[in-house]
Amino acid sequence: MKIDELKRVCVVGAGTMGRQIALHNAIHGYETTLTDASPAVLENAETWKREYLAGRVAKGRLTQEQADAAAARLRIVNSLEEAAGDADLVIEAVIEKLDVKREVFAQLDRIAPPRAILATNSSTIVSSKIADATERPSQVANLHYFNPALVMQLVEVVQGPHTSDETAETLVEFVRRTGKVPIHLKKEISGFVANRLLHALAREACFLLENGIATHEEIDLAAEKALGHPMGPFRLMDNNGIDVAYLVRKQRFEETGREEDRPPRVIEEKYLKGEWGRKTGKGFYDYRQ
């Protein structure tokens, strides 16, 4: 598919990432549908859409006319068939579990038009582990946004060995046309670029914490005040979701079997306690006050 043929976008998964990706694309002029298996999640996304756009208008970031147009372009629907039936690009943003993603892609392959590109927003699972669940592997790739997707500028386009040059080039240009900055990975690697750098920092931060060398607050201060990071590694994990941090590392450890890829003990403990950061009110920091 050529970029000028790409008119309609579907996002599957209306959680924190999916709803933001969908609204971002609607703001930038694409007819967009958003769906999820949970009616409650969809209802929450509808409320969030209205509140977010109203906030943009109140702050002068969008005119009322622009907000109304974006709201009209983003349709939130219950049915995957309705959401993806006429899509040119589908972006999957469901839970970071390979078996779930493969099932979603198999369904999308049956529902979406033959021309459609099927992309996964997975932060670590490479698309070659998903592509053979479809009959269109050349049109499957990673399209990885960062949280918060409405704010963060970078998007990683990851071209697997099965992904055609045309598909990768179309995704790179799509990212540009929606006001973001793409990087094009010509080869697959777990974790891609940004998260490999981030995971190396987080692994060392967890080592320092687990060994009683410094507190998580002090480690965050070192990253923020000495290295110039906008957010330290523990504050960032709280913001992105400790559940995501744990599941991503667990997936990678299962793939490699390398001890250095095992989720750090402090992350596993938080995950098992249900202390997943801002989304639950408590992580390394307490947000319940």
Enzyme catalytic residues = 123, 144, 156, 195
Q: Which residue type is seen at 119?
A: A
Number of other residues whose CB lies within 10 A of the CB of residue 280 = 17
Beta bridge partners of 11: 34, 91
- How many angstroms separate the CA atoms of 167 and 115, rounded? 11
- How many angstroms separate the CA atoms of 184 and 41, rounded? 32
Answer for the pair 12, 104: CB distance below 8 angstroms, yes or no.
Answer: yes
Strands 74-76 and 89-92: unpaired
- How many angstroms separate the CA atoms of 180 and 5, rounded? 19
- How many angstroms separate the CA atoms of 14 and 94, rounded? 8
- How many angstroms separate the CA atoms of 22 and 10, rounded? 8
Answer for the pair 275, 243: CB distance below 8 angstroms, yes or no.
Answer: no
Answer for the pair 95, 123: CB distance below 8 angstroms, yes or no.
Answer: no
Phi first, then psi: give them for residue 67, nearest 5 degrees.
Answer: -65, -45
